[in-house]
Chains A and B, each alone.
Chain A
Amino acid sequence: MSAAPDMLRIEALDAWYARAQVLFGVDLALKRGEVLAMIGRNGAGKSTLMKAVMGLATAKARAITFDGVGIAGLPAHRIARAGLGYVPEERRIFTNLTVAENLETGRRPARPGVDAWTPARIFELFPNLAGMQHRSAREMSGGEQQMLAVARTLMGNPKALLLDEPSEGLAPVIVDAMADAVMALKREGLSIVLSEQNLRFAGLVCDAAVVLSSGSLTYAGPLRPLLDDHDLLEDKLGL
């Protein structure tokens, strides 16, 4: 298993939203320990790709391998248990629960080779959350909810993360805190796919990038050229 070169490998993924096809034959490879930026305009299919990998959207693929194991067609809870964590764009915090209870919903047994997450370690990563353990998640700010969403997924001791637009709608100071957290997770050895429209944020944490345009892959390679060459980026993003 550990001999597999890539953490996550997607081959020829088609996916649908209701009856409309959103993704067309997308390939993607996430290397071990890498933070990969997934860039694309609104509606390009970034969120659908993550949902499809997690088994939450109608999808068909030649193969989806996670850490050497095929996960295509598995139910969502099996994919999560295999060690793939997912933080949705809308955060989907359980607002009827407290912060501590939200963390509990994500808790899974420790995984060999992963330093198990505990609430104490979570609060080191997100000090803001430490003081509000018994507060209802309904009363949190957007930034705090975003941190909680990441923290809740970490409680499952994932080997890799799918992070869907973690900076969306957040104040710049919170965006920086989130970037620090992602860097810390990278140092822990987590492999991360980061869907982003905020290139400044992506530039802070990512090495490689893929670009999605109207449901197809138009670029896969280092992130730097896209940041430096605006014309290239516009070209890849498409209309």
Chain B
Amino acid sequence: MDLSFLLIQTLNGLASASALFIAACGLTIIFGVTRIVNFAHGAFYMIGAYLGVTLAVRFLDFSYGAPSFWAAIVLAAVLTGLLGAAMEMLLLRRIYRAPELFQLLATFAVVLIVEDAVIWLFGAQDILGPRAPGLKGAVMIAGERFPAYELLLVAAGPAVLAAIWLLLNRTRFGILVRAATHDRQMLAALGVNQAVLFTATVFLGCALAGLAGALQVPKQPATPHMDVNIIAEAFVVTVIGGMGSVTGAFLAAVLIGLLQAFGILVFPKITLVLVFLVMAVVLVVRPWGLLGTPEPEIRGEAALLVPLRRWDRKATIGVAVVFTLLALYPLVADAFALKLAIEAMVFALFALSLNLLLGHGGVISFGHAAWFGLGAYASALAVRHLGAPMELALLAAPLGAGLCALAAGWFIVRLSGVYLAMLTLAVAQLAYAVTFQWVEVTGGDNGLIGIWPSQWASDRIAYYYLTLALTGIAVAFLIRLVFTPFGHTLRAARDSALRAEAIGIDVRRQRLAAFAIAGSAAGLAGGLYVFSKGNIDPSVLSIPTSVDALAMALLGGIRTVTGPVVGAAGLHLLKDFVMPLTDYWRTLLGLTIIALVLLFPGGIVGTLVDFLRRRGAGEGAP
């Protein structure tokens, strides 16, 4: 490696750092003021790219030259910002006081809707943009050719940083924005209209996302899935930098950019893994990122929670009836109905395991797909590489996932709130990256195929009973756990970690135990899933799988014991019977999530229990 090569590689790293910074800084600004982690930020990046392509082509047709091109880029950014402002007024404004989980899910719903809208408007194919007039060639740097446009990007990052710094430090708007990150209620008491300030902030943040997307136009095509790639990286950058810190985001972007530019030379196989590894390390050393400050004390939700009702005979009878009905089900069901039922049971266990963390532990796990997927891969790998029979492989699933959850949980439980959610997301992305990039072992993108049950269980009905038995035992265990002293202390720590610590509960250890148990249960669900399908690929570990689990728990009701099971069944019915009827199932799912968050935050079971309680029939969540 000679010096000029190092220089070029550094410039490459800085160019991608700039792009990453511009994409991420809007996210961090929005979080700083509104305390909402805008999952839809990647969607606005994608909107910026599509608007950029469309406008640039039109404008260059009209009059070819650099002014037309840059006018198109700026207009794309402004229009994206306006769409962001619309989202703020229609959706975010209603959820500023909602729990973080609801905010994450509501903005993820926007992702789903935008993905559909983009495909509907622009089609599913990639759209290649025009190159920037005047910047098409390369310049010679230290005897090497370097694209002129990349050089412009290298400068764009610091330029945006400087502009934002001036805006935040030298204007009244900026001073109010910074004051709002500290204490927005006090700001209102001084006569500042928060609604206007928040809308303006979200406009600014989304316009920056749009600018980042539009700046990519000459480099890469606009595609309907570019949002997911950028959002994971933007999260990493904001979390490493410290959420709410623009300068921190810049430092983190440079760190990641250089790491990727040089990491690819040293470890070409694990570039994706490297990024999330760095994030995990930074969060362990500095739990609030490089330049972040501790989150203000979490809002006291405790007063609004109602203790769970004691598990009584009625509940036991109810469960027994459901179990009996399920046992009789194969008598009336055809093969397709059996397949659906197997999946529903698997996902019921998956959702219930998540709710041990979410509902009872108060731990927002945004990457629960990791344990489901690792369980599935543990089973599949045991079959593929060790030649294990199904029985052993099914044992490997909860064991493997549980051990991984224990190891990752050791890091995760040190954090709280949004940072914890982001770290769980990073861990899931890490697991995804490993399965995706470690092609020799996992088959990479193609996954592993031919993972079938043993002879005796290969019949659909036999496998149905096996699934019923195993998920039944696991579900019963999880429900029982909620009513043990462990369940009580877990909820005590959820309602007030400080007070729980004060009476001698080791909150971290409780949560770590919950993580390991939830991970094992999700792993078992994953193992059962892989043998029902016969194959596995990395998509089971992806963000949408995690969101599915969250949506199921939410649909059923996270403040209830059995809700997630009901939610899993409900969402599965929706997915199998309603969504195939339309091309816009993502929109449908997104609107369902938004409706749940805004109208029925208690979920099906939670709302039902509330209704019964108001009529004086019950006094707690079954």
Contact = CB atoms under 8 A, between A and B. Distances in A.
Interface of A: 18-19, 54, 56, 75-77, 80-81, 86, 88, 92, 94-97, 101-102, 104-108, 152-153, 156
B580 interface: no
B276 to A, nearest CB: 30
Contact of B303 (A18, A81, A105, A156): A18
Nearest to A109: B191
23 contacts: A18-B300, A19-B303, A56-B185, A76-B188, A76-B189, A77-B189, A80-B188, A80-B190, A81-B191, A92-B183, A94-B183, A94-B186, A97-B175, A97-B178, A97-B182, A101-B178, A102-B179, A104-B175, A105-B187, A105-B192, A106-B190, A107-B172, A152-B190
Nearest to A51: B189
A94 B176 CA distance: 10
Contact of B190 (A18, A75, A97, A156): A156
Contacts of B176: 105
**Residue among A75, A81, A88, A96 with most chain B CB within 10 A:** A96
Given A96-B181, A96-B182, A153 B172 contact: no
B16 to A, nearest CB: 31
Contacts of A86: 189
Given A18-B300, A19-B303, A97-B179, A77 B191 contact: yes
A77 B175 contact: no
A56 B300 CA distance: 17
B188 A77 contact: yes
**Residue among A18, A76, A153 with most chain B CB within 10 A:** A76
A92 B178 contact: no
Given A92-B183, A97-B175, A104-B172, A80 B189 contact: yes
Interface in B185-244: 185-194
A80 B191 contact: yes
Given A18-B303, A77-B191, A101-B179, 15 more contacts: A56-B188, A88-B189, A94-B178, A94-B183, A94-B186, A96-B178, A96-B181, A97-B175, A101-B175, A104-B175, A105-B179, A105-B187, A106-B190, A152-B190, A153-B190
Interface in B284-327: 300, 303
Interface string B347-390: 00000000000000000000000000000000000000000000
A52 to B, nearest CB: 12
B80 to A, nearest CB: 28
Interface in B560-597: none
Nearest to A157: B191
A92 B186 contact: yes
Nearest to B190: A106
A80 B178 CA distance: 20
B598 to A, nearest CB: 21
B533 to A, nearest CB: 49
B284 to A, nearest CB: 26
Contacts of B182: 94-97
B97 to A, nearest CB: 13
A41 to B, nearest CB: 24
A77 B192 contact: yes
Nearest to A91: B186
A105 B175 contact: yes
B32 to A, nearest CB: 10
B277 to A, nearest CB: 31
Contacts of B181: 96
B189 A56 contact: yes
A25 B106 CA distance: 40
Given A18-B300, A18-B303, A94-B178, A105 B190 contact: yes
Given A94-B183, A104-B172, A54 B189 contact: yes
Nearest to B185: A56
B215 to A, nearest CB: 30
A140 B188 CA distance: 23
Nearest to A104: B175
Contacts of A56: 185, 188-189
Contacts of A107: 172
Nearest to A95: B182
Contacts of B189: 54, 56, 76-77, 80, 86, 88
B182 to A, nearest CB: 5
A88 B178 CA distance: 20
Contacts of A76: 185, 188-189
Complex A-B, nearest 4 residue pairs according to Cβ-Cβ distance, in ascending order: A80-B191, A76-B188, A92-B186, A94-B179
B303 A108 contact: no
B189 to A, nearest CB: 5
Interface in B528-551: none
Contacts of A102: 179
Contacts of B303: 18-19
A145 to B, nearest CB: 13
B186 A88 contact: yes
A80 B189 CA distance: 6
Contacts of A94: 178-179, 182-183, 186
